[in-house]
Structure 1
Amino acid sequence: MTPWLAYLLRTGRTELVRELLENSRVRWFDTHEAAEIIAALGEEDLLRLWGDVHRSVADLLSPNERTDDDLATAYAALRDVPRAQRDRALGDLTLQAAAHGNVSAVLSLLPKLQDPHRHALSALRIITTGTDIEVW
């Protein structure tokens, strides 16, 4: 379905793509490749809509307890990781927390990173759009 998506967007049929994303019972553009195509063609609004359709607001606002336990276990396991490798593992954990919509965990982990700005932007994109793709 992604070649069809690219064709629709390149030929200016963004309203049809919007309708398919919003109103269709069939999820036409489920893959992350679809989000990459939408981002590559500079359709910010459609990318936000894609993120809204593929993530529920409830997941963003209240991460489940199992996810919290998994994140806590992963954070505890970081004590065994050598200091030189810890920053990368901590960055990965920060992005994983963002993918689960756990904003408080992201905010707690960011100050512990050597380069929090890079991870903060990625986490923000993941939380708001569901994917870490720069849209410019």
Structure 2
Amino acid sequence: MYFSENIEPIVIGPPTRHPVLWYLWFEHQVPKIVRKIQPDLIVSPDGYLSLNSRVKSLAVIHDINFLHYPKDLPWSSRVYYNHYFPRFAKRADRLATVSEYSKSDISKSYGIEPNKIDVLYNGHNEIYQVYFGY
């Protein structure tokens, strides 16, 4: 990734893939880290946010497929997503998603104003053009 000189990326992430540990990470550990480093903005590329932090945030929610196909996820993940993702979406100062369809779906499903959601289409790395000849 490339960043402007006035941006210092600090990458933190949950050390697990279990909903109980997600909760402990985002609601207890992340606020401690945020208080320590005092960022201007939190960017969450997977949509998760701490509800206990007041720092401005941008959450990227690719889709809310779990609402439409709940059986595709384990019960514990489904419960977590259904409970927290509407709250994450409302907590975020801005949302980004990958298509107009997802924007509409998030807006309608979570009662989010469409003007709070930006569409950022998926990109690609130029290395794939060289490798595959496209």
TM score, norm. by length of structure 2: 0.29
**Higher RCO structure (Cα 8 Å, ≥6 apart):** 1
Higher strand fraction (1 or 2): 2
Higher helix fraction (1 or 2): 1
TM score, norm. by length of structure 1: 0.29
Structure with larger Rg: 1
